[in-house]
Structure 1
Amino acid sequence: MPEKIMENNKVTVIGEIISGFTFSHEVFGEGFYLTEISINRLSDQTDVIPLLISERLIDITGDYAGMLVEATGQFRSYNRHEGTKNRLVLSVFVREIAFLEEFNDYTKTNQIFLDGYICKAPIYRKTPLGREIADLLVAVNRPYGKSDYIPCIAWGRNARYASGFEVGSRICVWGRVQSREYVKRINETESEKRVAYEVSVSKLEWVE
């Protein structure tokens, strides 16, 4: 795999495993499974992040609930067909995983770097309290002509800066992967709780 491609999407997360493994898919006889880890924020909130991991990296029949792990890899997306619509599904594709005895530096539990392209016009808005927010969708290239589409959210000065990006602009993003609950309206009488995953931006740069 080209080194340059690997370098444009890098994630490190450290957290506690809180679920078992469920089968996702198989590629050339290699099975991939999903599990979830809980990551503490400095604000005392937690993010629950899905990991997509090969059966060749870990014994997926084991019980690891409550164990602390460090996983490195890439933040990836794919479109899942639901009826007549597509739903963007995101997870951390794990390349390396290690079990930890303990970890005290919570400033380094959740880090991501992306180098990609704006693929939809940024949506800039202000909250009722005046906080500036910008929603971005960043396409990050992968080998063999594939791309991952990563939702990002910027705040304050970064949001104002990002609001001027044009579709096709190349940007670099630093931040963390976060989970966020929201209510999806199904029809006039039904709605359901869902979880969205996105990158909370701490720094971003436009690349000429």
Structure 2
Amino acid sequence: MTDKVFDNNQVSIAGEVISEFEYSHDVFGEGFYTIDVSVGRLSNSSDVIPLMISERLMDVKKSYVGKYIEILGQFRSYNRHEENRNRLVLSVFVREVKICDEGYESPKPNYIFLDGYVCKQPIYRKTPLGREIADILLAVNRPYGKSDYIPCICWGRNARFAENFTVGGHIQVFGRIQSREYQKKVGDEDFERRVAYEVSVSKLECIEDN
């Protein structure tokens, strides 16, 4: 049962470590830490993706900055309470990790597959330049009655397809994880730079449940 649930949330990431370990939390005496990995795009830009990793998988007292690593894991979410509201925090939970030799090229440097359920009516819109976009919030089940809530963004034909999805619909998405900077207004005149994470969808399928 557990292995089947893990199959519905699969991530492969390969990139350069660009931060030191930062302590996150403990679970039954096992410490978990975050690090950031820079993953290149074909456009020569890059996505900075946060990883959540156990101290039992890597030596968290050591610096890996500048090292190239490849990981397998899951895209997970939790709600962090701040400023009288909950904020959705996303990171890749690492299940396997490999330190790569210089020049190594991963076959899947940024890949994600999700099997889940639409939990908000998709929002379809067009950019000022006429590009079609649809936003989906996907609930992906986890063991012990938990779920991860993953924002996904579709383009073009996929956006038009997603516009007709209904809440509770069962879908599968394939794509990559991307990071996006934005300005959050704090107070009357101040703005704070933040980073949002989402799945950029390349392929989308509806699943007919029996």
- TM-score, normalising length: structure 2: 0.97
Q: Distance in 2 between matches of 1:4 and 1:87?
A: 29
Residues in 1 aligned to 2:186 and 2:164: alpha-carbon distance in whole angstroms: 33
Hey, which bits of structure 1, 4+ residues long, moved more than 4 A?
Answer: none
* SS of residue matched to 1:108: coil
Give the alignment's Cα RMSD to 1 decimal: 1.0
| Residue in structure 1 matched with residue 201 of structure 2 by the alignment | 201
Q: Residue in 2 aligned with 1:52?
A: 52
Structure 2 match to 1:43: 43
Amino acid at match of 2:54: S
Number of residue equivalences: 207
Counterpart residue number, 2:128 = 128
Q: CA separation in 2, counterparts of 1:205 and 1:39?
A: 26
Q: Match of 2:22, as an amino acid?
A: T
Q: Gaps (5+ residues) in structure 2?
A: none
CA displacement 1:150-184 (0-9 Å, x = unmatched):
00000000000001000000000000000000111
2:161 match: secondary structure: helix
Note if 1:156 corresponds to 2:156: yes
What does residue 66 of structure 1 align with? 66
The residue type paired with residue 170 of structure 1 is H
Gap runs ≥5 in structure 1: none
Q: Report what 1:104 is aligned to.
A: 105
TM (norm. structure 1) is 0.97
Q: Which amino acid aligns with 1:103?
A: Y
Per the alignment, residue 114 of structure 2 pairs with: 114
* Percent identity (aligned): 64
1:28-54 CA distances to partner (integer Å, 9 max, x unpaired)?
A: 000000000000001111000000000
SS across alignment from 2:120 = coil
Aligned-pair CA distance for 1:120: 0.4
Partner of 1:32: 32
